[in-house]
Structure formats: structure tokens, C-alpha cells
Chain A
Amino acid sequence: MIRSSDFDPTFVQEIMAEPGGEHLLTCWSCGTCAATCLVRRFDSAFNPRLVLHKAGLGLRKEVLSSAEIWQCSACDACYPRCPKQIHISDVMKAIRQIAIREGYERPGVTAEVDVASCIACGLCAAACPYEAISLEMVEYEGGTKQAAKVDPNLCMACGICNSVCLGSCIGVPGYLDEAVNQNIGEDEGTSPTMPRALVITCNWCLHAGSDWEYAQHPPEGVKVVNVPCSGRVTPAFVTTALQAGVDGVLIVGCQEDQCHYKHGNALEKGRAAMLQNLLELLGIERERAQFAWLGSLDRGKFPELVNKLVQDVQALGPLSWSE
């Protein structure tokens, strides 16, 4: 129950004084943001309209302590649709700034470091889109050691750090190598004679609801696995899939300059090209490891990409490295 005694007008003023928070009170609670929100695919309880409404009422404690202000991933799917042109992710950011100042911490998972195996090469720190990782002296086995350290308030849990770390010494729980690989390797029970295809998509490239639905129910022989960002995909995911009997893999990320995590897609594009070149040199057709981008305007294009993969795989036939 909301009590009027909980209303704190200074909270409203504070948010509006933060960069990005200026338009808080323009919201008329139509709910279009919630209807287009991509985060709701993963957690239907998340509702940006409610966050803005509660913040507008000045419910300081309820808003600052909620998990929702951290859940907005700034995909900005709502922004072009908001009739009041509120940049909602900016408002969320303004609220988060206040939360950080008041000592609240991001709940849920952020990247974690395996200090024992970290060699402080700094690659993760360099690749992190949010400058959430730094090299610091950390406590280890009674002494100290230089290792990567994650600022949980800056980490957006994209997993790019994991994919660049050569020893996988850092990663986001739930999207560590074993977890993703298990998803990839799980047998869907298709017949052994049928060609098998694997599609790895990022969480944000399927803008149309119909594309998302298609990914949930792909055609027979096709498996779709989700990762936060295409930049999380290491070439080893592809090679282990090929080893497990998959005949072709497609990685789908966001369109150039539209990566949800700034540069994960560009990183992956380079790595996919590298893997394709390697496979081709080994005599394995490069079509067995495909990479594609989907932009916010490429609605309904996802099934086309999958169909192309299936056709390619059928034309190539099964991959037999060891007879």
C-alpha cells in the first residue's frame, strides 16, 4: 500500500536535478514503454512505467531499494515510442546515481574474478565497455596480488570480459563457459540423420516480437541459444558445437553502431571472421560459422537468416572431421 506520508517531494527535485532526470514529471503513465520493453522478455515483472510513476510520487526508499532501477539495460526500445519523448533510460540512470550516492548496491549478478588464475594482463579492463574493471592489488592467500577488480555499480553483466580473457578468469555467473556450453550441447532429441544447426543470438538484436517468438520456437533441427551480447561468444563455443555434431552455427548480434554494449558486436565480427578463415584453411566450409547483424529496422528478418543457415547446412551436408 502506498501512504501519502511516504511521498518525498525532495526526491522528485533531486532526480530532476540529475543529468537525464529532467523529464521525470512529463510522464503521463500511458505504459507504451512497458509494452515495448525488451527487458520484460526476460523478467515480466519489470515495468518502467511503474518505476517512473513511483519516482514521480517521491517514494524515495521504495524506488532506490528496488531491483528495477538496475534492470533497465538502456536498450532504448521505448525512447522512440514514448509520446512525451522521455529518455527513460536516462531517467533510470539519474535515479541510479542517487542510489549509488546513498550507498545502495546493484543487486543480482555482475562479473566476478577468479583471483587465483588472473594474471593481470588487463585485457578485460580494456575490453569492458563501461570501464567497470580495473587492475588493483587485491587480497589473496594471506598476501596481496595484482588482479582485475570489478565495480559492481558499473558492470552491466554483458560477459565481454569473459570472452576476451584467454583463461576465462572473469565472467558473469549464469553465462560462464560451462553454462553456455551446456546450453549449446544439450541434445534436443532430433534424429541423428537430420542436419543440425545452432543459432546464438544476443539478448537485444531481435526487436520484433514475432522474431522473438520464432526464436522461442525454431524449426526442427535448429537450436537457439541466448547470450547477453554477441561479444560474449568465444570461437570455442562454435568449435565445440561443431564437435558435438552441429553442422552449422550462426551468431547474431546487433547492427553496427547499435550494439547494446557499445562494441561487443564489432569484437565478435572480427573474431568470427578469424574463425571462418581458420576453418576455411582447415578445409571446413566457412558457411559453417556464420555471423550476422540485425538492426532495429530489420524486423522479421531473423527467420530469413535462420532459413539461410538451414539451407546452407543442408547443401553442405554433415560435417565429418573424424570418420
Chain B
Amino acid sequence: MLVAQVREIVAKKLETLDGVVALKEEQHRVAPYLFTAGDDLSTLVLEPRYPLALVVHEILKRRPDVRIGVVTRGCQERALVELANWKQLSLDQVEIIGFPCSQEQAEACRCEMPYPTEIVAGERAQGVVDQVVAEFRASKTREERLAFWQRQLGKCIKCYGCRSICPLCFCEKCAMEQETWVTRGKLPLPFPTFHLIKAIHTAGAGKCVGCHACEDACPADIPLSILYSLLRQDLKETFGYEAGAQHSGNPPVLLLKEQMAK
């Protein structure tokens, strides 16, 4: 079984690492946990999906002196790489203990690479080509799209769940909280500036790794990932940039500068 294999490997890794971030099940509840040597690893689980890069980043921000492992899926490995591209953590402090997603999960996430670069156990699922934007465009006229999003985004209660769960939302001062941009105390929002800022600052800036954590967190079930898929594709076509695909240290704005210099 996949989880048993992972537990075994984590036990071995804990001999040299300061800790391993993974999910822990306790009294039928699952939460992120920092396992250290001697902990009961039978509580370590792999499901459900959770953006563990967020937890790793929080730990490393406070402890620049440790080296930890993380039991991770492909998307969270890419999130960590992208955090390093944005100079928010050092990959030297992280060891990836990678496992693949199931085929069902890959389909649900429309994930092109449902596994980390190296996996310690299990079988790689087939990558899925994300066609949601094309399908969305083909199935709806402009008026229908407008009505769709007016309804979907009209459900937003501005809980900031999508922002708070995003492993790549690392700003101290969030533009989504600035009254210059976002009207306070008004629901539904008079215009989706709130959501456009989220989309542009994550996917548009080249940070969104498509982990779908925002959609999972949204209490209103808004299909946010359609917007992010669009921008992710745009960046791929324009700059060949895929968030977290490689540790280049070159977010798209830097690539633009390189292009200009040519």
C-alpha cells in the first residue's frame, strides 16, 4: 500500500532530517503536522489533498536553521519551487518525499503533471490536458458567460479563504485588502476587482501551480480555477513559463526583461 511505503520512508528520513511535514489523522480529523523522530507514524495519511507548501513555508520563515522533509504531491513540490523562485525560501532546507496522485485526482484537477519530479512509491498517473477554458468558451456565448460569472462571483462572501489557503500568496500586505481597490462592507461585490486581483497576482504573475486549494477552500463553490487556467495558459504561450516547473529564479517579469534586452 502506498501510505505504508511512505511511512517506512519517512521513518528512515527522520534519522537525518529535523522533521517531516505531512498529514496526520487523529480522532477522524486530518490536519498538517510536523512529524519528528519518535512520533507514531501510523497516523500519517496522504489524503485529502492539502497545500502543504504553505505549512513548510511558515516553518522555514521562523526556522532558517532546520532542514525538513515534506510528503508531497506534484503540485506542492512545484509550489515550493515557485516559492524559491520568488526568493521566499531556500530549497536546500527542504527534502521532497514525493508520491503520485491517483488518476481520478489528476482528472479532477485537470493536472498535466500529477506527480513530483521524483516519487518514492506508487505509480505515476497519466497527465491530463487542461481544456476547461476552451470548453467553457465553446459552450457559452458572451452573454451566457457574463450571466454565469455574475451568478458565480455573486456568491462570494469575501471570506478570503482562496487567498489564505494559497501556498503562493505570501505578501505581507495583500492588495485584496486595500480599500483603494476593494469596496468594504458591500455584498455582492459591485465589480469583481477582488477576484481579478487574486487571479492576476497569482496566476497572472506566474505563481499559480494549479493545486486547486482555493476551490476546495471556497465555501461558495466558485469555480475559480477556470480563471487561473486561462492565465496559466497565457503565460505558457507567451513566455513558455510554467509555475514551479523549474528552479530558475526567473518569474515572467524577468523573462520579459530578457526578451527586451535581445
Contacts and interface: CB of A to CB of B under 8 A. Distances in A.
B197 to A, nearest CB: 6
A74 B69 CA distance: 52
A26 interface: no
A103 interface: no
A270 B238 contact: yes
Contacts of B88: 119, 121
Contact of A178 (B180, B231, B259): B180
A127 interface: yes
A169 B254 CA distance: 19
A239 B146 contact: no
B75 to A, nearest CB: 21
Interface string B246-262: 00000101101101100
A236 B253 contact: no
A181 interface: yes
Contact of A236 (B86, B173, B175, B189): B175
A103 to B, nearest CB: 32
Nearest to B249: A122
Contacts of A123: 86, 251, 253
Interface string A205-240: 000000000000000000000000000000110011
Interface in B196-219: 196-197, 199-201, 204-205
State which size class the interface on B falls in: 35 or more
Interface in B175-202: 175, 178, 180-181, 183, 188-193, 196-197, 199-201
A169 B173 contact: yes
B138 interface: no
Given A267-B253, A282-B192, A321-B191, A167 B149 contact: no
B234 interface: yes
B145 interface: yes
Contact of A282 (B149, B173, B201, B204): B149
B256 A263 contact: yes
A168 interface: yes
Interface stretch (A43-51, A52-60, A271-279, A300-308): A271-279
Interface in A96-128: 114, 116-123, 126-127
Interface string A143-170: 0000000000000000000001011110
Interface in B139-183: 142-150, 154, 170-175, 178, 180-181, 183
State which size class the interface on A falls in: 35 or more
Contacts of A127: 253, 257
B227 A281 contact: yes
A281 B197 contact: no
B146 A284 contact: yes
Given A167-B175, A239-B191, A266-B259, 20 more contacts: A114-B173, A119-B172, A135-B87, A166-B171, A166-B205, A167-B172, A181-B180, A236-B175, A236-B180, A236-B193, A236-B197, A243-B183, A271-B204, A274-B234, A281-B136, A282-B149, A283-B143, A283-B149, A321-B150, A322-B189
14 contacts: A114-B173, A117-B173, A121-B86, A126-B251, A167-B171, A169-B172, A178-B180, A235-B204, A243-B190, A262-B260, A270-B238, A281-B137, A281-B226, A283-B147
